[in-house]
Amino acid sequence: MQTVVLKDPPPSATNTGLLGDLRAFAHDRLPLLVQWAQADAPILRLRFAWATQYVISAPEYVQQVLQGNHRNYIKEQTFMRTVRLAAGPARENLFTSDGKDWLYRRRLMQPAFHRRCIEGYTQHMVNETSKLLQRWERLPAHSTIEVRSAMTDVTMEVISLCMLGTDLQRAHEQMKRIFKASSDFVISHSSALIKWPLAVPTPTNRRLNQAMEAITTLLTELIEQRRQALASGAEPEFLIDMLLLSHDEETGQGFSDDELRAELGGIIFAGHETTASALSWTFHLLAQNPAAEAQLHAEVDRVLQGRAPTLADLPQLQYTSQVFQEALRIYPPAWITSRQALNADQFGDYGLPAGAQVLLNIYGIHHNPAYWEQPEQFRPERFAPDQLSKQVKHTYLPFATGPRKCIGDTFAQTEAQIILAMIAQRYRLRRRDDTPVAADVGFIMQPKGGLPMQLEPR
């Protein structure tokens, strides 16, 4: 029997010099991701100084890693070691864990994101958006607001009420500082050639350690409040309750308080930061595309007729959903994701060795003209029901795919649809000038320096 000889993936065009791809990737990531996605080979070999990684830009191979052969791939460990440092003393949560540990956490959390629970969360989404609109009403006419900050506030309130059973309004600014310190640490530490231990008082380390102390104090208080409420007979209804009452069926052991804090901190961050960023980009794109904005307003007016939306209204707010989906395609908050191969794997004629670190090029696939006609244009009609069958499979990956697809995808899309519809009922958001808005491509993709926009009542 003839042995098949697999080829090594070719090097990228920027894999040159002492640092390889590091200089180009640090300088301008998004155009480089698009360039890699349109290269002749679906897999390229990258070199970041002395570290070799592989970037995959073919949707069928992304599906192989995340779904078809997912058991061969764990979270990429170099990056995960950094994220675990930012997760607190427990070091593990749903995002960082793998294998049986991940499956246990996923099964435990999944009920909090079932449709019947989301139906109950809908009123929180409506209420918090109403409060935001009331704050805007008190501003002088045509005031300028910072959209990124406003979306962060409302999504943080929603996730804290839905997952913790309480609001974090009194701790809003503190939570923003905590999550910024964590994000800054992950970005800085993961890209640093010398990775200083947390005990070394670098500025980034000091800010992270202070943030960890602050969130430990805050979450400890919330955990104790819910523990006492459950002991007094309160019905379990929030994610925090499910975590407090959970236990391993074999050992009977539940989560420690450190583990609870790591899990809750992770879900609060993931549950508000990505949605806030995606909504900010949505308003930016609508301001640039008045025809799409007019169609959105017409739908919202026709379906809601001035009232607040309910879960039953969302199927009729189809174009509203399409607007958000297209924003996620153009500006996916999770613009890339990484995995590490446990064993060697084959992708067509190419072979990857055991231990290979793999980058899955979500942004490049979303912007590849082979899959999306004129991909830089904002076209919500791409996601109309009669167009979905024309999409190439696994070319739309804002929430990834496979068993580790984002647990909160339905929650996020429901929340965004409600917030977008309610704001569109009352306001147009306008850019103050034509200065291009750059993307800050860090832990998530967000508008660099915020997004100031002018409120224009409809």
The pLDDT of residue 442 is 83
Sign of CA dihedral 81, 87, 92, 98: negative
The pLDDT of residue 49 is 83
The pLDDT of residue 163 is 87
**Which H or E element spans position 319?**
helix 318-330
Checking if the pLDDT of 5 tops 90, the result is no
pLDDT tens digit string along 370-382?
A: 999 999 999 999 9
Q: Phi, psi (5° rounding) for residue 301?
A: -65, -45
Q: Which residue has the higher pLDDT, 110 or 286?
A: 286
Domains contained in the chain, CATH given: 88-334+398-457 (1.10.630.10)
Q: In degrees to the nearest 10, what's the CA dihedral of 269, 272, 276, 282?
A: 120
- CB neighbours of residue 82 within 10 Å: 20
Checking if the pLDDT of 41 tops 80, the result is yes
Checking if the pLDDT of 361 tops 90, the result is yes
Q: What whole-number distance in Å separates Cα of residue 281 and Cα of residue 80? A: 27
Least confident of 23-27, 58-62, 320-324, 399-403: 23-27
Checking if the pLDDT of 1 tops 60, the result is no
Least confident of 194-198, 216-220, 294-298: 194-198
pLDDT tens digit string along 388-409?
A: 999 999 999 999 999 999 999 9
Q: What whole-number distance in Å separates Cα of residue 279 and Cα of residue 19? A: 36
pLDDT tens digit string along 99-157?
A: 888 988 888 888 888 888 888 899 999 999 999 999 999 999 899 999 999 999 999 99
Q: Are 328 and 355 in contact (CB under 8 A)?
A: no
pLDDT tens digit string along 259-268?
A: 888 888 888 8
